[in-house]
């Protein structure tokens, strides 16, 4: 059994962590005080992957909450599930990053990082066979982007043989009005390309749209967005936390999803997604849910996979699922001309079946899609970055923290190369098909 350590960085990462651990604990029968009250052996079989059992029989999450200011962690500790976590797992500074990547990476974050790395080192020493790290963060602010970038870089240097996955929230002007988000996002993007094995791209623009259009919430709050994110985070990790008909680890998932090292960015989808008035009218068969995760309008990242090519797809199916129905539906999808799959990867749809249902659902499907169209997210951020950088606006905020101005040019080049790789394979395939 391989243990996984969870890192929640910045205000966004901490907020996501709050809902993630609430749902995970409910699925495993763990109370807010860390005691097990369930009655299903499957709930405890793989608990050590995400929890460590104390000498008093209390289950404590393998997690740390990190921020450069204490406001968010203070709120978390005051919630119902605040006592679930080890008191020392809340690591905070006193100044904050002021939405500045350079503060989180070069100055405030650099001073604070040794404290965090020391605590993470203690967490790894408590593991028998640690597999890797999962980081939850945003690319738009200062701490999640800057300090998150620094931590993932230093961890990959200290533990080069471990596996790194991130749940990365890409910014959108629809939700936030932080003017320097394009700078922060592109600077972080370089570190995700270089130091992370798998990046699950969640996009505020897509999440906001899903809340309004599908869930019929007129004015979505961050809590609404984070609930959608929790569906993905708990769905993806289900195969790591529970025994099932088929199981997958972080590295196994990477082997089946990443054809080339640079192409490790995935767009997530969850089914079922329904507004409250629609629940009583929905059928929600295995075939319906399998089909739904291929609907472009349900992707939690602002892309349309039907425009590009599907490279690989990983489905985690939970609850009362008939594998035969899944196979039949997937065969129909692969033969449907509306869905374009690359022909140079045979059997590019992988399925993982978990008997334990998602909390609040009797049947659900979580999908990770590797698509050539993921480049559109990177391209959008790059265009916003370019508009600002051409006029050198706000550049002084970064250089006065000790950042070399050439770093802006470097990250632009790295991101452009990544876009080019995805575009190249999409174009090559199109030419072959003509």
State pLDDT tens for residues 288-322: 999 999 999 999 999 999 889 999 999 999 998 88
- The residue from 329, 349, 373 where one domain ends is 373
Residue ranges making up the domain that contains 202: 3-265
What are the residues whose beta carbons fall under 8 Å from the beta carbon of 9, sequence distance 6 or more? 66, 67, 135, 136, 137, 143, 144, 147, 148, 151
Is 165 within 8 Å of 133 (Cβ atoms)? yes
Domain count for the chain:
3
**Within this chain, do residues 178 and 67 fall inside the same structural domain, yes or no?**
yes
Rounded CA-CA distance 431/434 in Å is 5
Mean per-residue pLDDT for 13-19? 95
The 3-state secondary structure of 309-358, one letter per residue: CEEEEEEEEEECCCHHHHHHHHHHHHHCCCCCECCCCCCCEEEEEECCCC
Q: Measured in whole angstroms, how far is the alpha carbon of residue 346 from the centre of its chain?
A: 26
For position 187, what pLDDT does the model report? 97
The pLDDT confidence band at residue 244, using thresholds 50, 70 and 90, is: low
**Within this chain, do residues 209 and 136 fall inside the same structural domain, yes or no?**
yes
- Whether 157 has a pLDDT exceeding 50, the answer reads yes
Tokens standing for 285? 């068969």
For position 247, what pLDDT does the model report? 58
Side-by-side strand order, sheet with 163-170: 90-92, 63-67, 3-9, 130-138, 163-170, 198-203, 265-271, 363-371, 310-319, 349-354
The pLDDT confidence band at residue 248, using thresholds 50, 70 and 90, is: low
Instruction: For 55-197, list the strands marked E by DSSP.
Output: 59-61, 63-67, 90-92, 130-138, 163-170
- The residue from 265, 295, 324 where one domain ends is 265
State pLDDT tens for residues 213-229: 999 998 998 889 999 99
**Within this chain, do residues 257 and 325 fall inside the same structural domain, yes or no?**
no
Task: Compare 279 and 241 and report the one with higher pLDDT.
Answer: 241
**Within this chain, do residues 211 and 299 fall inside the same structural domain, yes or no?**
no
**Within this chain, do residues 27 and 152 fall inside the same structural domain, yes or no?**
yes
**Within this chain, do residues 229 and 333 fall inside the same structural domain, yes or no?**
no
Angle at 305 between CA 324 and CA 272, to 5 degrees: 50
Is 250 within 8 Å of 368 (Cβ atoms)? no
What average pLDDT does the structure give for the chain?
92
Taking the CB of residue 259, how many other CB atoms lie within 10 A of it? 16
Q: What is the CATH number of the domain that holds 280?
A: 3.30.1330.20
- Whether 245 has a pLDDT exceeding 70, the answer reads no
Length of the chain: 434
Q: What is the CATH number of the domain that holds 117?
A: 3.40.50.1440
**Within this chain, do residues 231 and 251 fall inside the same structural domain, yes or no?**
yes
Buried b (16+ CB within 10 A) or exposed e, 186-202: bbbbbbbbebbbbbbbb
Mean per-residue pLDDT for 200-213? 93
**Within this chain, do residues 37 and 168 fall inside the same structural domain, yes or no?**
yes
**Within this chain, do residues 368 and 380 fall inside the same structural domain, yes or no?**
no
**Within this chain, do residues 70 and 206 fall inside the same structural domain, yes or no?**
yes
**Within this chain, do residues 64 and 53 fall inside the same structural domain, yes or no?**
yes
Q: What is the CATH number of the domain that holds 381?
A: 1.10.287.600
ω into residue 159 within 30 of 0, thus cis?
no
Question: Residue 318: which of 274, 358, 368, 269 has the closest Cα?
Answer: 358
Classify residue 396 as exposed, middle or buried by CB count within 10 Å of its CB (0-12, 13-18, 19+).
Answer: exposed
Mean per-residue pLDDT for 46-68? 95
- Whether 53 has a pLDDT exceeding 90, the answer reads yes
Tokens standing for 91? 């690591």
Tokens standing for 326? 């899944």
- The residue from 373, 394, 414 where one domain ends is 373
**Within this chain, do residues 167 and 275 fall inside the same structural domain, yes or no?**
no
Mean per-residue pLDDT for 379-386? 94
At 364, which helix (H) or strand (E)? Answer: strand 363-371
């Amino acid at each position: 059994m391989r243990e996984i350590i969870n890192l929640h960085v910045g205000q966004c990462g901490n907020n996501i962590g709050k809902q993630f651990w609430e749902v995970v604990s409910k699925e495993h029968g763990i109370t807010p005080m860390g005691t097990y009250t369930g009655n299903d052996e499957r709930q405890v079989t793989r608990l050590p992957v995400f929890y460590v059992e104390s000498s008093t029989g209390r289950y404590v999450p393998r997690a740390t909450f990190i921020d450069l200011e204490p406001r968010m962690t203070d709120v978390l500790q005051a919630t119902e599930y605040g006592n679930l976590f080890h008191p020392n797992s809340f690591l905070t500074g006193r100044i904050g990053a002021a939405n500045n990547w350079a503060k989180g990476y070069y100055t405030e974050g650099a001073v604070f990082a040794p404290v965090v790395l020391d605590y993470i080192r203690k967490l790894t020493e408590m593991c028998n066979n640690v597999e890797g790290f999962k980081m939850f963060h945003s690319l738009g602010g200062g701490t999640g982007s800057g300090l998150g970038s620094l931590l993932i870089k230093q961890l990959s240097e200290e533990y080069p043989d471990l596996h790194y996955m991130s749940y990365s929230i890409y910014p959108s002007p629809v939700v936030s009005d932080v003017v320097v988000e394009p700078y922060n996002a592109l600077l972080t993007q370089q570190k995700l390309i270089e130091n992370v094995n798998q990046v699950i791209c969640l996009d505020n623009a897509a999440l906001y749209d899903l809340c309004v259009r599908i869930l019929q919430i007129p004015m979505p709050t961050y809590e609404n967005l984070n609930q959608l994110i929790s569906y993905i985070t708990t769905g993806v990790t289900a195969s790591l936390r529970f025994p099932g008909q088929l199981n997958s680890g972080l590295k196994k998932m990477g082997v089946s999803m990443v054809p080339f090292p640079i192409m490790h960015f995935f767009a997530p989808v969850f089914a079922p997604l329904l507004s409250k008035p629609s629940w009583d009218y929905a059928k929600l068969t295995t075939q319906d849910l399998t089909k739904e995760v291929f609907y472009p309008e349900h992707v939690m990242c602002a892309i349309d996979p039907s425009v590009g090519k599907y490279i690989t797809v990983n489905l985690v199916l939970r609850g009362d699922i008939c594998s035969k129905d899944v196979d039949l539906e997937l065969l129909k999808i692969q033969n449907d001309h509306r869905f374009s799959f690359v022909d140079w990867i045979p059997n590019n749809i992988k399925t993982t079946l978990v008997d334990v249902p998602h909390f609040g659902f009797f049947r659900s499907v979580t999908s990770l899609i590797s698509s050539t169209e993921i480049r559109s997210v990177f391209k959008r951020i790059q265009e916003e970055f370019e508009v600002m950088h051409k006029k050198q606006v706000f550049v002084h905020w970064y250089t006065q923290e000790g950042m070399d101005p050439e770093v802006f040019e470097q990250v632009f080049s790295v991101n452009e190369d990544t876009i080019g790789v995805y575009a190249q394979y999409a174009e090559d395939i199109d030419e072959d098909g003509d």
